[in-house]
C-alpha cells in the first residue's frame, strides 16, 4: 500500500509534472515548521505568512495551467467545428466517423484535465489538514474562507470551473449532431430530458459532479445509505464494476430493502391489540416490536460477513427466515401463545439483510450510478416505512379459513409471508450472483485509503471546510510523516467491531451518539403510538395507521427541502445543532403535566420530533459518509454496519423501556418513556457543543 505522495507521483501525466501540487516539498516544509517552532527559532505569524504564500503560489501554478489547457481544448474544438461545418455541406460517412473520434479524443484530454484538478484538490486538502495537526493551528478554516469568495482568488477558479462546463457543452452538442438521427431536424436543446449517451461524455459529467461544490437532493439522499467509497476509481476498477453489475439484481436488492421496512412497521398499529388478545399487557408491544431489532443485532454481523463470499445465498436465507417469521407471527393468534409471536418476530429480525443490501450497492454497482442506487436504497426504506402502517390500516377484516383466523392482528403476518414467498421465487429466477473472482483478480493492489470519499464526492470546497470531523486516515498518516510508505496493516479493513470502533475519531463518535439518540426518540414515538393514542384519545387502528403513514411520508419531502435548500444556506454543524434542539423541544412538548392531554398537542409534538429527527438523521449521516474512515468502506465491519448497530441498539433499548414503563401503568407510560428521550437529547446537544468548541 502506498501513501498519497507516492500515489500522486504515480498518477501524474509526465508532460504535466511541473504543474501538480508539490506535496512532498510542502510536507517537508510543514515538518520544518514544527521543528523550528519547537526550538523557538520561528514565530507563529511568520509560519502562517510563509505557508500561505507557498500555498497561493502552488494554487496559482495549477490554475494558470488549467486555464491554458482549457484554451487549448477550446481551440481544438473550434478547429473541429470548421471541419464539422464543411461536412454539413458535403457529408461523408468516413469523415464523420473520423470527426467523431477527434471530438472523443478532446473529451479524453478533458477527462485527464479533470483528474488533474481532482488530484490537486485532494493534495491541497490533505496538506492543509497535516499543517493543522502538526502545528496545532486552525489554519484550514481561515485559508479557505479568505480565499474561496475573494474576487482575485485563484482558489475560486477550481470551485466554479465555468470554462470546463463550456467545453463539456460544446463536446456534447457536436457529438449529438454527429449521431445518426434518422432524418430528425431536432437539436440537443429540443430534448433536454434525453441527454447524449456517449461513454466519454458520461465519464466527464461524472468527474465534473465529483468536483462540484453544490449540494443536491440526490447526492444528499444517497449519503444517508452510508455506502462509503475508499479511493479515486481507476479505469480497471470501473471495468470490474461494469462486469459485476446486473440491473435486475439491483432491483431485487432494493425490493428486499423495501419489503423489510414494510415488515418492520406493518405491526406497529396492531401490536398492542395483538398482545392483549394473547393475554399480555398492551405495553408488551414494546417487546413484540423490539424482538425484531434484538435479532437484527446479530444478523447484521453474520450477513455482513456472509456477503464477503456471496449475495444470492444471504438473500435467499433472508427471504426464508422472514417467511417463517411471519407465518409464526400469524399463527400465534390461533395457538394463543405470546411466545410463538415473539419467536416469529425474532425470525424476522434474523432475516434482516440490510448489510447485504448496502454491500451489494458498494461492491457491484458501477461508480457512475452508485449515487442513484444509494438514493434508491434510502428511498425504498422510507417508502417501506410509510407503506407498512398504511397497509395495516387497510387490513381491517375478520374471517376464518379452516382453523386459521384472518383479522387485523394476523393479516399483517399472512400478507408479508405471501410477499416474501413471491419475492423468493422472483429472486431464485432473476438474481445473478456477481463473480467474486473478478473482484479478487482485478482489484488494484495499491488502493490507498488516504484519498478519502469526501474529496471525491463533494469536491474541493466542502472537504476543506470539514476540518473538524475528518477521518482517522489522517491520524494514521501523521504517524508516518517521514515516509511515503505506510505499513500495509494500517490500510486494511477492520477485522472486528472493536477495531472498527477504534478507527472512529471523537467527532464521529459524537455523531454516532446523535444517531443513537434520534433512533431512540423515533422508536419511542412510533412503538408506543398505538398504546398512547388508545388510552388518551380512543383512536382506532385505522386512525393510528393513518397517523404513522403520514409521518413516514414526510421523509422524502423533508430530505428534498434540506438537500436542495437548507444545506446550501447553512453549515452542517448549524443544521445539526438546530435539529437537536428542535427534537428536545418536541420531546418537552409531549409531556402530560397539568393540562388535559389533547390530540393537537400529541400530533404537533410527534410531528415536530419526527421531522426534526429526520432532518437530523439526514444531515448527520450525510456528514458521517464524508468523514468516516475510508478503512471502513469495505470488509465485514464497515461504516454501514456500525451505524446499523448503533441504531438497532437504540431501538432495542427504546422498546424495552416501553415494556418496563408499562409496569407503572398506562397513565404514566407517556411521561416515563419521554424522560429518557429528554435526557439523551440533552446529552447529545452537550456533546455536540463540546465537540464544536474544541474543534472550531
Which residue matches cell numbers 443485532? 297
CA dihedral 669, 672, 676, 679 (to 10 degrees): 140
For residue 508, what pLDDT is reported? Answer: 81
How confident is the model over 499-504, as a mean pLDDT? 77
> What spatial distance separates the first Cα and last Cα of the chain, rounded to whole Å?
33
Instruction: Dump pLDDT digits (tens) for 85-94.
Output: 877 777 777 8
For residue 446, what pLDDT is reported? Answer: 37
Instruction: Dump pLDDT digits (tens) for 679-691.
Output: 999 999 998 888 7
pLDDT at 5 over 70: no
For residue 324, what pLDDT is reported? Answer: 96
Cα separation, 245 vs 435, in Å, equals 10
For residue 7, what pLDDT is reported? Answer: 62
For residue 102, what pLDDT is reported? Answer: 86
- Res. 415 pLDDT band, cuts 50 70 90: very high
pLDDT at 172 over 50: yes
How confident is the model over 283-287, as a mean pLDDT? 89
Quick one: what percent of the chain has pLDDT higher than 90? 27
pLDDT at 482 over 70: no
For residue 460, what pLDDT is reported? Answer: 34
Range among 129-133, 138-142, 303-307 with highest mean pLDDT value: 303-307
Crossing angle of helices 367-394 and 541-553, rounded to 10°: 160
Crossing angle of helices 506-527 and 599-627, rounded to 10°: 150
- Res. 148 pLDDT band, cuts 50 70 90: low
For residue 525, what pLDDT is reported? Answer: 92
pLDDT at 465 over 70: no
Q: In 10 A of CB 551, how many CB atoms?
A: 23
pLDDT at 151 over 90: no
For residue 340, what pLDDT is reported? Answer: 94
Minimum mean pLDDT range among 124-133, 225-234, 267-276, 548-557: 225-234
pLDDT at 485 over 50: no
Instruction: Dump pLDDT digits (tens) for 363-408.
Output: 788 877 777 788 788 888 888 888 999 998 898 888 888 888 899 9
Q: Which residue has the higher pLDDT, 295 or 204?
A: 295
- Res. 427 pLDDT band, cuts 50 70 90: very high
pLDDT at 298 over 80: yes
Minimum mean pLDDT range among 112-121, 288-297, 479-488: 479-488
Residue 11, judged by CB atoms within 10 A of its CB (0-12, 13-18, 19+), counts as middle
pLDDT at 31 over 80: yes
Cα 355–chain centre separation = 13
The contacts found for 273-277 with CB under 8 angstroms, 24 or more apart, are: 273/408, 273/409, 273/530, 273/541, 274/332, 274/333, 274/341, 274/409, 275/338, 275/341, 277/333, 277/409
- Transcribe 64-92 into DSSP letters: HHHHHHHHHHHHHHHHHHHHHHHHHHS--
Residue 401's DSSP bridge partners are 404
- Res. 439 pLDDT band, cuts 50 70 90: very low
Instruction: Dump pLDDT digits (tens) for 222-277.
Output: 666 666 654 444 444 444 455 678 889 999 999 999 999 999 999 999 998 999 99
Minimum mean pLDDT range among 98-102, 131-135, 467-471, 515-519: 467-471
Q: Which residue has the higher pLDDT, 144 or 24?
A: 24
For residue 411, what pLDDT is reported? Answer: 93
Cα separation, 636 vs 600, in Å, equals 46
Cα separation, 252 vs 240, in Å, equals 21
Average pLDDT, the chain: 78
Minimum mean pLDDT range among 147-156, 548-557, 611-620: 147-156
For residue 163, what pLDDT is reported? Answer: 63
Instruction: Dump pLDDT digits (tens) for 626-666.
Output: 667 667 766 677 777 788 888 899 999 999 999 999 888 88
For residue 6, what pLDDT is reported? Answer: 65
Contact between 412 and 392 under an 8 Å Cβ cutoff? The reply is yes
Amino acid at each position: 500500500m502506498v501513501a498519497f505522495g507516492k500515489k500522486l507521483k504515480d498518477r501524474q501525466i509526465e508532460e504535466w509534472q511541473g504543474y501538480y501540487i508539490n506535496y512532498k516539498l510542502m510536507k517537508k516544509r510543514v515538518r520544518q515548521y514544527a521543528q523550528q517552532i519547537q526550538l523557538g527559532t520561528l514565530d507563529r505569524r511568520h509560519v502562517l505568512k510563509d505557508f500561505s504564500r507557498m500555498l497561493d503560489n502552488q494554487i496559482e501554478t495549477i490554475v494558470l495551467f488549467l486555464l491554458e489547457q482549457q484554451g487549448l481544448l477550446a481551440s481544438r474544438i473550434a478547429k473541429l467545428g470548421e471541419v464539422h461545418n464543411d461536412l454539413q455541406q458535403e457529408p461523408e460517412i468516413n469523415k464523420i466517423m473520423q470527426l467523431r473520434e477527434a471530438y472523443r479524443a478532446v473529451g479524453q484530454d478533458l477527462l485527464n484535465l479533470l483528474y488533474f484538478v481532482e488530484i490537486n484538490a485532494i493534495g491541497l486538502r490533505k496538506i492543509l489538514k497535516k499543517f493543522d495537526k502538526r502545528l496545532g493551528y486552525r489554519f484550514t478554516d481561515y485559508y479557505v474562507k479568505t480565499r474561496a469568495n475573494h474576487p482575485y482568488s485563484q482558489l475560486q477558479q477550481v470551485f466554479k470551473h465555468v470554462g470546463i462546463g463550456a467545453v463539456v457543452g460544446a463536446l456534447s452538442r457536436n457529438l449529438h449532431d454527429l449521431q445518426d438521427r434518422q432524418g430528425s431536424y431536432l437539436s440537443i436543446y429540443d430534448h433536454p430530458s434525453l441527454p447524449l449517451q456517449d461513454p466519454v461524455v458520461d465519464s466527464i459529467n461524472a468527474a465534473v459532479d465529483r468536483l462540484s461544490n453544490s449540494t443536491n437532493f440526490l447526492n444528499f439522499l444517497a449519503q444517508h445509505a452510508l455506502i462509503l467509497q475508499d479511493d479515486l476509481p481507476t479505469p480497471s476498477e470501473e471495468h470490474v464494476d461494469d462486469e459485476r453489475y446486473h440491473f435486475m439484481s439491483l432491483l431485487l436488492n432494493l425490493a428486499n430493502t423495501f419489503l423489510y421496512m414494510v415488515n418492520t412497521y406493518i405491526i406497529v398499529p396492531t401490536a398492542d391489540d395483538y398482545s392483549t388478545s394473547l393475554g399480555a399487557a398492551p405495553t408488551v408491544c414494546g417487546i413484540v416490536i423490539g424482538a425484531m431489532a434484538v435479532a437484527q443485532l446479530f444478523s447484521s454481523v453474520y450477513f455482513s460477513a456472509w456477503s464477503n463470499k456471496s449475495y444470492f445465498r444471504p438473500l435467499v436465507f433472508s427471504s426464508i427466515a422472514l417467511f417463517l417469521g411471519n407465518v409464526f407471527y400469524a399463527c400465534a393468534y390461533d395457538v394463543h401463545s405470546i411466545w410463538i409471536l415473539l419467536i416469529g418476530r425474532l425470525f424476522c429480525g434474523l432475516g434482516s439483510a440490510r448489510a447485504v443490501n448496502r454491500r451489494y450497492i458498494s461492491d457491484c454497482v458501477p461508480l457512475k450510478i452508485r449515487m442513484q442506487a444509494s438514493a434508491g436504497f434510502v428511498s425504498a426504506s422510507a417508502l417501506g416505512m410509510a407503506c407498512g402502517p398504511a397497509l395495516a390500516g387497510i387490513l381491517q377484516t375478520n374471517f376464518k379459513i379452516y382453523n386459521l383466523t384472518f383479522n387485523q392482528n394476523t393479516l399483517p403476518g399472512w400478507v408479508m409471508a405471501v410477499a416474501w414467498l413471491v419475492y423468493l421465487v422472483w429472486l431464485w429466477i432473476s438474481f445473478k450472483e456477481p463473480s467474486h473472482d473478478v473482484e479478487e483478480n482485478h482489484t488494484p493492489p495499491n488502493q490507498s485509503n488516504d484519498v478519502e470519499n469526501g474529496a471525491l464526492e463533494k469536491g474541493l470546497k466542502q472537504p476543506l471546510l470539514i476540518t473538524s470531523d475528518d477521518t482517522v486516515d489522517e491520524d494514521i498518516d501523521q504517524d508516518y510523516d517521514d515516509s511515503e510508505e505506510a505499513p500495509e496493516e494500517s490500510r486494511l479493513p477492520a477485522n472486528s467491531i472493536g477495531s472498527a470502533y477504534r478507527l472512529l475519531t471523537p467527532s464521529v463518535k459524537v455523531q454516532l451518539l446523535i444517531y443513537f439518540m434520534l433512533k431512540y426518540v423515533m422508536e419511542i414515538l412510533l412503538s408506543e403510538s398505538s398504546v398512547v393514542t388508545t388510552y388518551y384519545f380512543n383512536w382506532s387502528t385505522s386512525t393510528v395507521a393513518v397517523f404513522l403513514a403520514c409521518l413516514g411520508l414526510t421523509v422524502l419531502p423533508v430530505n428534498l427541502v434540506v438537500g436542495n435548500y437548507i444545506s446550501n444556506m447553512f453549515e452542517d454543524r448549524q443544521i445539526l445543532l438546530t435539529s437537536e434542539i428542535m427534537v428536545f423541544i418536541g420531546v418537552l412538548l409531549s409531556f402530560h403535566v397539568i393540562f388535559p392531554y389533547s390530540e393537537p398537542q400529541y400530533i404537533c409534538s410527534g410531528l415536530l420530533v419526527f421531522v426534526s429527527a429526520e432532518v437530523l438523521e439526514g444531515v448527520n449521516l450525510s456528514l458521517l459518509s464524508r468523514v468516516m474512515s475510508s478503512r471502513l468502506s469495505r470488509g465485514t465491519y464497515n461504516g454501514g454496519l456500525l451505524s446499523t448497530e448503533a441504531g438497532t441498539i437504540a431501538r432495542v433499548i427504546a422498546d424495552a423501556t416501553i415494556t418496563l414503563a408499562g409496569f407503572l401503568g398506562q397513565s404514566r407510560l407517556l411521561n416515563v418513556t419521554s424522560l429518557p428521550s429528554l435526557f439523551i437529547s440533552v446529552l447529545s446537544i452537550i456533546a455536540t457543543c463540546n465537540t464544536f468548541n474544541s474543534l472550531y
